[in-house]
């Protein structure tokens, strides 16, 4: 799906952290039966789609580095998320994740890297690969490290406190600067 987005001109993006923003953070969620949508998350994603934003998940996934689940299991969960969103008339354009951690149990994932938030590597990669205009983009995260990654990539950041995601998204879109995607709903 990312290749479809890349062929288009620069557009604004909504970068969304996953755990704590899209789903209730129960800790190392990898099975659909353990995935609980944050109230209004599917509607918020649909709203962003309709407003013209490239919708991108950027998520640290140290559970991979700790050996709690594999990259394949992570990808399988996101296929399920995609199917669930389609039923709601919504979609995520791309998912970027960091499987690394400096204290990883699995040596292949043990490192400090520029993709692990608060570093902006995932955002820079998405900006480059998806032709995103950072000045017309924003990130919603539930932790200061999410916001720090956005600042490092020159992307506006918003801290989500656990409720009212759709209202937050509507407010961000309504107050978007000229040139950013928008809707008049």
> Which residues participate in catalysis according to the annotation?
17, 19
Residue 175: which residues within 8 A CB-CB, separation 6 or more?
none
Q: Are 138 and 123 in contact (CB under 8 A)?
A: no
Residue 87: which residues within 8 A CB-CB, separation 6 or more?
none
């Amino acid at each position: 799906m990312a290749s479809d987005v890349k062929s288009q001109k620069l557009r604004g993006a909504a970068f969304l952290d996953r755990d704590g923003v899209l789903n209730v953070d129960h800790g190392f969620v990898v099975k659909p039966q353990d995935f609980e949508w944050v109230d209004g998350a599917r509607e918020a994603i649909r709203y962003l789609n309709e407003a013209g934003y490239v919708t991108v998940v950027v998520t640290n996934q140290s559970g991979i580095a700790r050996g709690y689940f594999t990259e394949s299991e992570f990808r399988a969960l996101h296929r399920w998320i995609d199917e669930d969103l389609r039923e709601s008339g919504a979609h995520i354009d791309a998912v970027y994740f960091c499987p690394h951690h400096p204290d990883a149990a699995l040596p292949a994932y043990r490192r400090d890297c520029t993709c692990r938030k608060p570093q902006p590597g995932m955002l820079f990669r998405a900006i480059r690969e998806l032709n995103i205009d950072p000045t017309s983009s924003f990130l919603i995260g539930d932790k200061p490290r999410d916001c720090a990654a956005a600042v490092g990539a020159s992307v506006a950041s918003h801290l989500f406190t656990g409720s009212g995601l759709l209202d937050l998204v509507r407010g961000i879109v309504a107050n978007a600067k000229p040139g950013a995607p928008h809707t008049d709903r």
